[in-house]
Amino acid sequence: MSVQRLPAEWEPLDAVMLTWPHQGTDWNHILDEVTPLYEALATVICDYADLVIAVPANLLEEVRQRLSSMGVPEEHIYLYPVDSNDTWARDHGPLTVLTEQGPKLLDFTFNAWGNKFDASLDNAINKKLFDQQAFPAATYEACDWVLEGGAIEVDGNGTLLTTASCLLNSNRNPHLSQAEIEDRLKAAFGVRKINWLHHGYLAGDDTDSHIDTLARLCPNNVIVYTACDDPEDEHFAELKAMEAELQALTDADGQPYRLLPLPWPQALYNDDDERLPSTYANFLVVNEAVLVPIYDCLSDEDALEQISQAFPGYDVMGIPCATLVEQGGSLHCITMQIPEGVLGYL
């Protein structure tokens, strides 16, 4: 029987996938702010891995020229003409498992976090990229159930961490029981144990509490997690309850975790005075680097220090993400890792 495994995000990567912002996305009103952020992020990522970018056909050459003008080496950028509704590559991008026959892209159904938005174009991105040979050394499998990459964390060694409020939500897979979802997760990703969190949320989050905003698995049985130290904040009780759940968890081999709390950033609001889901947990691991979202807060430096403790020996750097969080997501949400061996090499 063939075994497949979803590698941990700190395992070697060929590339990171981005879906480029454009006028047809919800970024339209702040496109002049978010596009430079994507360009700056591309320059940093290309110091550590290649980039696979889905871009509307009419923007292809403009994006290529703008990245080139910023000094991004052309040999590290692979642009493909693909239409999109939005840019949340973590959730519409492929989850790539490693098999005895080589890497395989798992293309799950993306329904925009429970049909909250139109996602028909986003749901077609992976197949269109695959058909354009964006992932030449991988095979492709369409999966007929809903799953977003931001909803799960794996350690690559048998353990998966997720939230019940997302994966068991009736707006995802109402025809599946918890046991059936667990069976599918184990078969798809080669995990032996699934740890469920029943507490924790961020105001302003459209995802029904994706795990990548709350708690992240790190090397050496470490979990970094969003912690709130303000008893007057609406999140305090729920995040304290989540902390207690994390303290009771063990991995697939029965080993406990070392927990590292992340600082609580000062509250950010949009123009309508709605709370935004800013979190330091939404970081991106790219080979020898960890890119951490920062929000021009006093707690930014403390967050970088805590994540440095979780990733000793890595280059840990902050990426300003106050603009990203205006649309409810951050750094991890707009990226998807492409494991080593997928590009082949082109």
Query: What whole-number distance in Å separates Cα of residue 287 and Cα of residue 48?
Result: 6
Q: What is the DSSP string of 253-276?
A: TSPBPEEEEEP-PPP-B-TT--B-
Give me the active site residues, please: 333
Bridge-based pairing of strands 289-294 and 284-286 is antiparallel
SS3 content of the chain, % helix, strand, coil (to 5): 30, 25, 45
> Residue with structure tokens 């080593």?
340
The residue among 315, 318, 316 whose CA lies nearest residue 297 is 318
The residue among 249, 269, 267, 268 whose CA lies nearest residue 259 is 249
State the Cα angle at 327 between 40 and 71, rounded to 5°.
10
